[in-house]
Amino acid sequence: MKYSEVIKLLEDLVNTPTHVLVGYGKGDLLVLRSDEGGFSSLWVLDVKSLSKKKIAKRPVSLEAEMPVKTNRVVYAVDVARGREQHVVYVVDLDRVEEEVQVDMEPVRVMSLVDTGERAFFTGATSEDVAIYMVEDGKAEKLYKLPRGFAFVTSANEHMVTGYGVLAGNPFSMEVFVYNVQSSEFKVYTPKPGSVNKEPVITEKNKLVFASSAFTEERDILVELDLEEEEFRELRLPGNDYYEYLPVEHVHYNQYEGKWLIVGKRNGRTKIFMNGYEIAPISGVAHRAVYVNDKIYYSYSSLRKPSEVVELDVKHRTSRVILESRPPREVESVLGDVKFEKVRTPSNLDIPVWIIESSKAGRPGPTVIYVHGGPWAEVADAWRVTLIALVATGFNVVAPNFRGSTGYGEWFKKMNIGDPGGGDLEDVVAVTKWALETGLASKVLIAGYSYGGYMTLWAMSNEPELYDCGVAGASVVDWEEMYGLSDAVFKAFIDVLFAGKRELLRERSPINKAPNITRPLCIIHPQNDSRTPLKPALRLLSLLLERGKSFEAHIVPDLGHAINTVEDAMKILLPMVSFLRKCAEVERG
């Protein structure tokens, strides 16, 4: 491909819109999160006329899930050019042209919920993380959280609930309830040391949340009676849910006494109503809502950017009301999409997604793509970075190393207290598997955020294994990052390392940079407040002093989150260009 062809293909790809369901509002309006029009915004879609309209005039960082048929949408906007200092906005669906900015000092908004009358969020400053309430156009700080790693997930007129690392144990998460009237803050867990997350308030003012209290192999939905303080497993009438046994839950909520659940295992989802499977999905559903005897949901896959579907529950009919397809030249290149498990030297089976490119062939140049987080996963869901690599001539192998979500709390916990240890072993084992199975002629490695960290760490610890690497928004020095972080990211590092401060230096790539022997490309946002630029600049200086081969792309006025098409191009174009150049050079 000529350089101009690469640019055009990437432009067509990043301009392919995605649509994610947010909720169902007043006047038969679906609210969607979409990047149509050049940036991540909020749109309304009339389910009758199928006409749609943008309602947020600036990039949206985070939106609140909406109560059914509410007349407003609440969301957070970064006002600090990528530094993730947010203010909250409210749009009335009767007057979608008017955005109302909440009177507040900017904070890092980590989570956001809305009752239709009040909104609540967790906000982080350099000093603390607290619960805030938005009412009558103003934000009020309600309660300073005892520890910094916590999120709100549901609220009503009496209380707000959420979860976090609240007992001081990095291996557990607890549920909390804050009473708005009495200001009482209470923490709940069905079993000390278990992980409990994403509570929702039921129609009878009970809590339902996902828990590992009964088994760490999969999440179980647990109901908490707040008056009796009793826990029990949520029981559903249908048996399909129990035959499927989801490992995780993407979404669950109660509508008119019925439970609508999106369950996930092995990187794909199914939708259940009261335990009965109601929608076959080839990919991952993001969210679902039940209203007027219809279920609305959005989903995507590694082949399809997005689809929004209306399912008539009574008549068992469905229709696609909005869809997005990849550019034709991208569709023609996408080869086999496979899910495998690769055995490591520690006898762990690591889940891996493989996407083959008809341009790469077998064996062909292969990118080991390392996801961020680390508490995240690559699933059968649209990821523009992976598809860009496949479209420009690479096979892609994406390991869900230990620490990834989607495979049970036992698996996720395995890198707490050991980042850069067992997860590095997994990435290396999958890399060698790609070579041994004949998929890869040469291997390159790339990632963003924690994936950028793992790229640097792998190239430092296995310098002869990778032909080159691209590290985006990477952690370079855990110690320096800790000192530059606000309250929530200090708490994040404390949890990830399980308080083992001595490991911060040991597991920092800057201390092993002299080991890097192969070409390296560093792409870093200038205004990144999660993985700050300063340590990356020190790494570049060190590489220069040692005469290493590298490229550096510092992206001005960009933070860690990529919310516009232009920002996506600023990351993807140098990454793809560097990898293509590297792939054309044979090993010496």
Catalytic positions, written as ranges: 449, 528, 560
Is the distance from CB of 338 to CB of 326 less than 8 angstroms? Answer: no
Is the distance from CB of 368 to CB of 427 less than 8 angstroms? Answer: yes
- β-strand partners of 222: 209, 233
What's phi and psi for 261, nearest 5 deg? -130, 135
User: Coil, helix or strand for 435?
Assistant: helix
DSSP character string of 208-243: EEEE-SS-SSS-EEEEEETTTTEEEE---S-SHHHH
Could you list the beta-strand ranges (E) of 467-562. Answer: 469-472, 520-525, 550-555
DSSP character string of 329-379: HHHTTEEEEEEEEEE-TTS-EEEEEEEEETTT-SSEEEEEEE-SSSS----
- β-strand partners of 354: 338, 397
First to last CA, the chain: 24
- β-strand partners of 52: 45
| Other Cβ atoms within 10 Å of 98 Cβ, number | 10
Phi-psi sector, 262: left (phi>0), alpha (psi -120 to 50), beta: beta
As a whole number of angstroms, the distance between CA 198 and CA 196 comes to 7
- β-strand partners of 54: 43
